[in-house]
């Protein structure tokens, strides 16, 4: 078996084991909820049958794992996750996750699509100005420009912010402008097409540690929301295989429709907590950039976790992150294994 096939088998077996474990806990919860309505004999009989089925399933999955030399993390016999095991306060009821950089690497796809869109415009602008390219053409910076003008903003606001930074004036245009139009709406539509094309070509994956953490959060009975300024949030979650682990989404369309201020204002995070019917003081937020951490602090959330993907955790700590880790898996207690 080649390395790719072994990796696929490992992932499939891990997902299967996690789903069986969650199913047994759900059945146990249902049995406890119905305990008052069941005769004692029947309750004991059903509990015994559930325990036997759990044991048989656990034994089978463990045997497969041993044969394939796969060490399962989400073992059916494993303990049910608790808040302390997840690095969360005991009274936390909900979690709000930034999509880009915390759960997936989709920010890189977005940044590349923005670079494609803006660089074509900048080249045309430089050509019309009749100036030499080295001085007139300064390409879109995938890191500096993306973080300063794009990240956390709905698409149209991102276009406007970047144009202002380059002293370029374009008409607003109309929502149905073609992607070739040199208008704010035209550029936004061009970026959307570029993003979809890149997403179809290269896909997007969840960070493995993020997937494990989301699964454990759900198994612990906590509710989850995802926030992002992208209008393609649901599509990204679907492509990354995370849709079933998320209860609510606050995306670019919601931000525009509800008039929510972008990070570092806490509006988006507060809207996510409200959709989960959770008070901020009982909710943990997970962010990867300084404005997101600042938003969590401004919203008075119980716990603000910074995910450092740059190797510079001090930036997030200065903004008030309670905890800074390299990956969500760093929060998982070893007891989950």
At 337 the pLDDT is 43
When pLDDT is cut at 50, 70 and 90, the band that residue 321 belongs to is: very high
Of 26, 101, 97, the closest CA to residue 247 belongs to 97
Asked whether 306 and 116 are in contact (CB, 8 A), the reply is no
| pLDDT tens track for 167-206 | 999 999 999 999 999 999 999 999 999 999 999 998 899 9
| Mean of pLDDT over the chain | 88
CATH 3.40.50.1000, domain 84-105+206-336, yes or no: yes
From CA 155, how far away is CA 144, in angstroms rounded?
17
List CB contacts of 300: < 8 A, sequence separation 6 or more.
Answer: 280, 281
pLDDT at 79 over 80: no
pLDDT at 334 over 50: no
Q: Please give the average per-residue pLDDT across 129-135, as a whole number.
A: 55
CB neighbour class for 295 (10 Å; exposed up to 12, middle 13-18, buried from 19): buried
Asked whether 102 and 151 are in contact (CB, 8 A), the reply is no
The percentage of residues in the chain with a pLDDT greater than 90, rounded to a whole number, is 60
When pLDDT is cut at 50, 70 and 90, the band that residue 220 belongs to is: confident
């Amino acid at each position: 078996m080649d390395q790719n096939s072994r990796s696929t088998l490992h992932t499939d077996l891990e997902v299967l084991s996690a789903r069986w474990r969650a199913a047994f806990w759900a059945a146990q919860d249902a049995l406890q909820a119905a305990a008052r309505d069941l005769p004692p004999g029947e309750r004991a009989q059903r509990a015994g049958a559930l325990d036997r089925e759990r044991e048989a399933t656990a034994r089978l999955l463990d045997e497969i794992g041993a044969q394939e030399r796969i060490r399962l993390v989400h073992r059916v016999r494993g303990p049910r996750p608790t808040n302390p095991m997840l690095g969360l306060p005991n009274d936390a009821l909900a979690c709000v996750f930034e999509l880009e950089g915390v759960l997936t690497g989709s920010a890189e796809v977005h940044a590349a699509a923005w670079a494609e869109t803006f660089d074509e415009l900048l080249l045309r602008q430089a050509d019309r100005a009749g100036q030499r390219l080295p001085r007139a053409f300064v390409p879109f910076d995938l890191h500096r420009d993306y973080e300063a003008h794009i990240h956390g903003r709905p698409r149209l606001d991102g276009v406007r912010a970047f144009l202002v930074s380059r002293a370029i004036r374009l008409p607003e245009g109309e929502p149905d402008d073609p992607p070739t139009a040199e208008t704010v709406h035209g550029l936004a539509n061009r970026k959307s097409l570029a993003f979809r094309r890149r997403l179809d070509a290269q896909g997007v994956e969840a960070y493995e540690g993020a997937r494990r953490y989301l699964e454990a959060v759900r198994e612990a009975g906590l509710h989850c929301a995802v926030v992002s300024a992208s209008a393609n949030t649901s599509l990204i979650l679907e492509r990354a295989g995370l849709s079933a682990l998320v209860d609510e989404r606050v995306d670019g369309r919601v931000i525009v429709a509800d008039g929510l201020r972008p990070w570092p204002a806490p509006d988006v995070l507060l809207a996510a907590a409200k959709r989960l019917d959770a008070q901020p003081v009982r909710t943990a937020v997970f962010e990867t950039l300084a404005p997101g951490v600042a938003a969590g602090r401004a919203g008075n959330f119980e716990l603000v976790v910074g995910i450092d993907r740059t190797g510079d955790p001090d930036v997030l700590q200065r903004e008030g992150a309670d905890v800074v880790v390299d990956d969500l898996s760093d929060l998982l207690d070893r007891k989950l294994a």
